[in-house]
Structure 1
Amino acid sequence: MQSIIFDYAVFLLLIALSFGVLIYSKLSGPKEQTKADYVFASKGSVSMGAMLLSIARGFLGVKVFLGYPSEFYYRGSGMWETLYGMSLAFPLVLYFFLPVYFNLGITSVYQYLDMRFKSRLVRRLASGTYFIRSILNLGVTVFTPCVALKTVMGLPYWFSIILITSIAIVFTLLGGLRSAILADAVQSLVMIGCSIVIIVHGFFIAKGPLNVFEVTKERNRLDFFNFDLDPTIRVTTVSATLGQLFMSLSMFGCQQNFVQRYFSMDSQKQVEKALWLTIPLMIFLFSLSWIVGMVIFTVYADCDPRALGYISEIDEIIPFYIEDKFYFLPGFMGLVLASLFNSGLSILVSNLNSISTVAWEDFVSQIPVFKGASEKNQLICIKSLSVITGFIVMGIAFIVAQSSGVIDASQLMTSATSGPLLGVFVLAMFFPSTNWKGAAAGMISSHLMTLFIVIGSLSLAKEPEYLPVSTEGCTNTTFSPHIEPIFDVQYSQYKMSFINKTHDDLGVSSVLSSPEVKSSSKDDILTMLYSITYMYYSLLGTFVTVFVGVIVSYMTDLWSKEESTNEDLLHPMSLKVKSMCTGEKQRYVTDGKHNNGPSTLPMTNEAQPTPLSSVFTIKSNSS
């Protein structure tokens, strides 16, 4: 009873601390005078350290603490190798994406697409993709910590969902991006501390790190460098690297909430420094969560709680482990739960800020009644949109709580939408001759293709594939005294029920493995297409967008003299390659005035692009 009181006290204290961070950032930071101050955190008002933690946490999210350890425990180290793709994405974003639109003076990254293609259709397709994907993912993000809160503290889903979204709305109204970045930093430090405590204590229980390594290797959890090219395997080294590379490029290079963080810094050099420093930080945070999974698996290697019925979902293994092994440390469970709660909160805050900005710039600001709104009124509108978006996310979280399949569908949606989004930015920056018709056709075709594959994949209804787990070492003293036993594991009837599940070739007396999935004929092309791992959806989507975009642009009078592109909106390398390959001089303009011509409607407070001569020395052809 005393431990529970401590847990609740620590839980409430950390939530209060989050409010303290908000109030501190509000009082100590520069006053938000304009929309840009709110959206971009008043340039220079956020430290480099806080920015690094925010970028890393924005990508890894709540899954870094709950998802990855359970992934290792039940599926092995395959997803660990997505780290290769993540790390490769940063220098590519740094050298290919950042120079093009860092100094454009825009508040929505999708505004760049309108400036490049002179088409609001392309811009809205991209921003709409981001909006839908973010809303779905945020519903899952809000619901994830609610599972742990209900499992341990008994808080009902509806209470946790309303609490998280309500606090997030208050944060967004009062603090803007600056409070979100600072909250990310605080939660990152708490999560790092909790992970280190779990690892050190786990090493002690598991008889040292060497034994942890040996047990996980012996039980086939460490499976690195699998270069199998079969696209239907859930994850291999190849699919983890390529698939995650394209997903990371889409997120770090084309997604509003990340680019918005870049814009909040003083200069491009600061952003470059931040991205380079984020790589080792990402590797550290990412690997830390997998080591937690290694430790927990070693402790429960011969007595799996899920096989015994103590937990029903694989993601519950972390809360169960802490409740089981840290009963002697009052308040630690409250600390972990508060960290999960606040992590979901900070991710929601930063995304509400970004989504409301995109909704204003790309949709609402074009409604006649809102055109010509002052800076103050624009800020009010963006904050109002944050409130509306928050309630939408709350509703989706309630749907997630009722529908177990929505989580998987949302994850598939994330992979499926990365390709079209990345593809249209690749067309804009690296294919000078493509036009808005090609860009729009490419995105639509890519969405239809990936949606077709996703629906087909869900129709196959595959059972989750888990590695075998053992219960042969279970005794009545395996778990802590305060964990109420479900049954006496010494009863022979119980042992016989698990012996019936034994796989002799595994050499254990009881295992839990995935149900056998019937394989279809190799000649069934549709089945093979539906069976492609979601890790490749982003790669396929990008390829389809670029391929269709180039073809359609060519078919719709590719070299029309009426088409002109501002060279500052293209990557200089693409201009040089274009000139070398064709020997022709493409018509480019350099004054930026064409962006407000009849072919495009003026956007709210659009700034003209700043020349890239200070970044690249390559000279492009101009007329």
Structure 2
Amino acid sequence: MESQVMVLGAADYVVFALVLLVSAGIGIFYAFSGNKQKTTGEFLMGGTQMKTVPLAISILVSFMSAILILGTPAEMYREGTQYYLYTFGLIGAIGVSTLLYVPLLYPLKYTSSFEYLEKRFNSRAARLTGTSIMIVQQVIYMGVVSVAPSTALEAVTGFPTWATIITIGLVATFYTHLGGMKAVVWANVFQGVVMLAGVLAIIIRGTYAVGGLSEVWRINEEWGRIQFFDFNPDPTVRQSFWSLVIGTAIAWSHTYGLSQATVQRYCALPTLRQARLSVILNIVGVILLMTSVCLAGIIMFAYYAQKGCDPLSDTKISNPNQLMPHFVMEVLGYPGLPGLFISCLFSGALSTMSSSLNALSAVCWEDFFKPVLGDRLTEAQETLITKLLVLFFGAADIGVSFMTMHLGGTILQVCLSFTGAATGPMLGLFILGAFFPWANWIGAVVGGVLGLVFPLWISIGAYTVVGTPSSLEYPTNNCSVPNSTISMATTMSSNLTTVQGPVEYTGISTLYTVSYLWYPAIGAATVVGVGLLVSAMTGMNRVGDVEPRFLVPFLYRRCLPEVVRTPRRCLPEVVRTPRGCDTEGSGPDDKEKAPASGYVSRTRCC
């Protein structure tokens, strides 16, 4: 059966166009207001005088994209409520980041987070290793984020995939290129409101159609969908308590504490307290958004259970990524509401892409161009280069989106598999530097490369190996195709269930069956393990070689002996001073007056 294509009305296109115009208008506004983005500090960091709440919202929606809106409800629909535990992994990651990583990087005030790696390991190679991994990860991530709404909308509305990809790419590039950090942050705030409004509209209308939340819960319980705690320690289980909570916390601790997009934002705030608050406030946003999209998933299942026909089984749609748009076009039958949902998807994609473009232009300028050209160019020329970098990566995103259009599986798993494989080694590099003072730059470089190659190899191999079929049942009694056809259609609808029954894998193929949620942990562990081993083989750092400001505050305050907390040599520009005071100080003799929180420069307070 052909997928049913729904027709959008004039009101839907008006709502959609308004969202795009407002996003673009924010970029135009900041291009001609204030300092008019004439300096790299203004363009990349917003002049370091941003507000806490808008930045917190910007951090949230930078990573809660269209993938969240499409993939999470589909995951809940297909696999039950266990995925909601992912929320607690995110909360754990935010807590770890606030306690450990924000206090580490904020006082350093680096535009590029990877400058930390160069200073800590005293090696430009270590810095460029991290930068290169980040570029690979972000370009892939932007491509997948753009494809997410594109393929889904084409299936249910007929809106061409290529047109969606180009629209998202051009609009995000346009306002990021013109307005810099300020435009990205305020556009993110607006897009976050649109995303929440779209999801709430789905929840309210869907709940009404089913007959109330109690009925939604009863139907899901009846079909065996209400299940939260699977404590199976087997890492090849696709989702368990351990992978959803521990694996997620490991992966997202990099996102909320160490990723370029996040560091760039909280370092744009005037105080450490505000920086930490901007990250911790994400707990509220994560609970709200994750609860909403997960609730939308079980509402969607209850609706089709009442109808007696799963759209995937009836072949009305071809893959799980189209479940939510198909449900919206059936249920949100009021003028403008389908347009609001489409705007919701576009807002998710735009917020993520613009944040990535801003981050990529910052690291490429700081890590590649500035060391070579910084002394030869005027401020205006430097800013021009950063804006041209936005255009370059915007074009790269559109190209990668066309390349990733035909990947199978849920968009959620595609995203978490490939970007998670690159997130792990970046996290590992920072852990190696911040927690292990004896690790050297050779260990960081070798560990970083192997930490990227190993999980990326597993994630690519996983697409050649079939996973375990879902054991959950789907409603098919009222479908319009014969049961034999339904069985075949259901099997073909997911790359996870292309064979019937369990399959035994041995040897190296077993690696490919490891849950995609463990990829970041595997990458990080590889970097740390290999990094420490190579450091031991090539000569570890001596005690005191690493300045305490490059170690996590908790470590050098509580765990290391005093000899490690005190540098072996005192550099003229680094003195121990009380926080909050610009004072000349006189070196280590001032330590009685200073807290053990670290060092600050003579001219800038931490």
User: What's 2:520 paired with?
Assistant: 538
Q: CA deviation at 1:319?
A: 1.3
Q: Which moved further from structure 2: 258-267 or 370-379?
A: 370-379
Residue pair 1:75, 1:465 contacting (<8 A) in 2 also: yes
The answer to whether structure 1 residue 567 and structure 2 residue 548 are counterparts is yes
User: What's 2:441 paired with?
Assistant: 436
Match of 1:318 among 311, 318, 324: 324
User: What's 2:96 paired with?
Assistant: 92
Q: Which moved further from structure 2: 216-225 or 147-156?
A: 147-156
Residue pair 2:88, 2:245 contacting (<8 A) in 1 also: yes
User: What's 1:278 paired with?
Assistant: 282
Question: 1:240 corresponds to which letter in structure 2?
Answer: L
Question: 1:414 corresponds to which letter in structure 2?
Answer: T
Give me the whole-angstrom Cα distance separating, in 1, the residues matched to 2:429 and 2:78.
Answer: 37
User: What's 1:446 paired with?
Assistant: 451
Contiguous gaps of at least 5 residues in structure 1? 475-488, 504-511, 595-610
The answer to whether structure 1 residue 49 and structure 2 residue 53 are counterparts is yes
The answer to whether structure 1 residue 591 and structure 2 residue 589 are counterparts is no
Aligned residues: 573
User: What's 2:510 paired with?
Assistant: 528
Match of 2:298 among 294, 297, 305: 294
User: What's 2:310 paired with?
Assistant: 304
Q: CA deviation at 1:391?
A: 0.8
Question: 1:340 corresponds to which letter in structure 2?
Answer: L
Residue pair 1:244, 1:535 contacting (<8 A) in 2 also: yes
Q: CA deviation at 1:556?
A: 2.0
Residue pair 1:566, 1:590 contacting (<8 A) in 2 also: no
User: What's 1:206 paired with?
Assistant: 210
Question: 2:78 corresponds to which letter in structure 1?
Answer: Y
Q: CA deviation at 1:443?
A: 1.5
Give me the whole-angstrom Cα distance separating, in 2, the residues matched to 1:613 and 1:570.
Answer: 18
Q: Deviations over 1:548-571 (max 9, x none)?
A: 22222222222558x822222222
Q: CA deviation at 1:534?
A: 1.6
Match of 1:260 among 259, 264, 286: 264
SS in 1 for 2:48: coil
User: What's 2:87 paired with?
Assistant: 83
Give me the whole-angstrom Cα distance separating, in 2, the residues matched to 1:200 and 1:305.
Answer: 21
Give me the whole-angstrom Cα distance separating, in 2, the residues matched to 1:502 and 1:440.
Answer: 47
Residue pair 2:194, 2:343 contacting (<8 A) in 1 also: no
- Cα distance change of structure 1 residues 254 and 371 upon mapping to structure 2, 3 Å threshold: same
Q: CA deviation at 1:159?
A: 2.1
Give me the whole-angstrom Cα distance separating, in 2, the residues matched to 1:27 and 1:308.
Answer: 53
Q: Which moved further from structure 2: 147-156 or 391-400?
A: 147-156
Q: Which moved further from structure 2: 25-34 or 62-71?
A: 25-34
- Cα distance change of structure 1 residues 192 and 455 upon mapping to structure 2, 3 Å threshold: closer
Q: Deviations over 1:560-618 (max 9, x none)?
A: 58x822222222433356644x9778754453769xxxxxxxxxxxxxxxx99999933
Question: 1:552 corresponds to which letter in structure 2?
Answer: V
Residue pair 1:419, 1:542 contacting (<8 A) in 2 also: yes
How much identity, in percent, do the aligned residues show?
Answer: 28
Contiguous gaps of at least 5 residues in structure 2? 1-5, 491-495, 575-587, 600-606
Give me the whole-angstrom Cα distance separating, in 2, the residues matched to 1:162 and 1:439.
Answer: 38
Give me the whole-angstrom Cα distance separating, in 1, the residues matched to 2:478 and 2:325.
Answer: 22
Q: Deviations over 1:136-177 (max 9, x none)?
A: 110111122222432344232222222221222211121111
- Cα distance change of structure 1 residues 586 and 395 upon mapping to structure 2, 3 Å threshold: same
Residue pair 1:573, 1:618 contacting (<8 A) in 2 also: no
Runs of 4+ off more than 6 Å:
499-503, 582-586, 611-616
Question: 1:378 corresponds to which letter in structure 2?
Answer: E
Q: CA deviation at 1:106?
A: 1.8
Give me the whole-angstrom Cα distance separating, in 1, the residues matched to 2:424 and 2:343.
Answer: 35
User: What's 1:480 paired with?
Assistant: none
User: What's 2:273 paired with?
Assistant: 269
- Cα distance change of structure 1 residues 325 and 122 upon mapping to structure 2, 3 Å threshold: same
Give me the whole-angstrom Cα distance separating, in 1, the residues matched to 2:486 and 2:529.
Answer: 55
Residue pair 1:82, 1:241 contacting (<8 A) in 2 also: yes
- Cα distance change of structure 1 residues 454 and 400 upon mapping to structure 2, 3 Å threshold: closer
Residue pair 2:58, 2:189 contacting (<8 A) in 1 also: yes
Q: CA deviation at 1:229?
A: 0.5
TM-score w.r.t. length of structure 1: 0.85
Match of 2:177 among 170, 173, 176: 173
Residue pair 2:425, 2:452 contacting (<8 A) in 1 also: yes
Match of 1:128 among 119, 132, 137: 132
Give me the whole-angstrom Cα distance separating, in 2, the residues matched to 1:531 and 1:463.
Answer: 9
Give me the whole-angstrom Cα distance separating, in 1, the residues matched to 2:405 and 2:97.
Answer: 36
Residue pair 1:231, 1:532 contacting (<8 A) in 2 also: yes
